[in-house]
Amino acid sequence: MKKLGILLFLVLCINIPNVMAKEAETLGDLRREYQNVLNKQKDYNNKSEQAKNEIKNKEAAISKAQEELTIAEHEEEETKLAIEESNERIEQLKLESEKVLQYMQQMQSKNAYVEYVTGSSSMTELITRLEAVKQVSGYIQDTLDALEEEIKRNEELVIELKAKQVALEKKIANYQAAISKLNAQAEEYNEFALSLDEEVAAAKELLDANVKICKETIGKTDDSVKLADCSKMPINGGWLKPLKSGVVTSPQGYRTHPVTGQKYKFHDGIDIGVSEGTPVYAAASGQVVAKVSRSSCGGNKLFINVNIGGVQYTTWYYHLLRFNVEVGDIVTTDTIIGYVGGYSTSSSHGGYDTCTTGAHLHFGVQKGYYLTNGGVKTSSVIVPPGFRNEVGYRFTSRTDFYR
């Protein structure tokens, strides 16, 4: 059911553009982005019942086809058994026929047949005796013919049942192919993609935070207010590591999911192995634009917009044990933004995060300011600068920059 729920979401949203992918320059932009996400959620809710019914009908059709297939297989077995029984009866009748023929031959050789017939006391008895011999041999032949015809019909029925099974198996395969197609489309999406509820919450939180900032700094909150006038985004000259030390345990790119085993899932960042509770720093100075708490895949997630030499990026940090900043905060590279989780927060250890098996930080970067990374195309994601994108790459300081 969980898988069907994911497929349902993709059916409704797979062609909807990410409304939060455009850089917000004013409070009006943020309000419109929030409204767009609300509209997408409303559209989803309006269509969800119809989509659920379609999925339900498809499930019912698959179940019916499987039941029909089982019945056809059972009928085939019964028909084959009937053919075997008919063959046994034919063999038995052939033996009986041979015995009758042998008896008649014996009678004929000893003139017993003639004596049997001519020994009749009357014409009626003579006819009766002739008819008896005829009926015995005729019955055997008619029975053999009937059984052979029955075998022929059953053999034709077996062929029909086989064809029916092939048609049913093809029907089931078509349904499975449709589901596989949806899965293939889903592979183009981030395995950590945010749900609609998470997108709505993130957009609302960012809007509220910036309204508060603008009110406190310039005393205005109308749509025309520029975000740059309320809070100056710092410009960085380069990157630092988000941890003081660590080792890459899983690179960015397509991979087999370590928990579900699903192949070709896009991993939108690198996993850095480190002890749970280790402080996490901002890789560059910027503004916290979104927080997602206790997500079922990724746990506590934090998104920070940064500017490196005039180029805009979004950075994200997943599987956090807890946050240390709020949406709207301006952070520097010395700011502890949270703490590494991934072990106690893992569902395998009694937690809520199904996409982790041990303590680590998932760190990702993409070009452009994005309020969330739900539904972001893989082409916008880059390997975090300063990291070698391979398992085993180790660094021992925040300035240990790999080129």
| The model's pTM | 0.61
CB atoms within 10 A of CB 177: 10
Residue 385: name the closest of 364, 371, 362, 368 by CA.
364
Could you list the mean pLDDT of each consecutive 10-residue stretch along the chain, which spans 403 residues?
44 37 77 87 68 65 82 84 79 69 54 50 52 61 74 80 82 68 46 76 89 93 91 90 96 75 76 97 95 92 93 94 95 97 94 93 89 55 93 94 72
**What pLDDT sits at residue 221?**
94
Q: Which two tokens stand for residue 262?
A: 């699903």
Cα–Cα dist 3/232, whole Å: 43
Cα–Cα dist 365/348, whole Å: 27
Looking at the domain covering 194-200+228-395, what would its CATH class be? Answer: mainly beta
CB atoms within 10 A of CB 346: 22
Q: Is 210 exposed, middle or buried (0-12, 13-18, 19+ CB in 10 A)?
A: buried
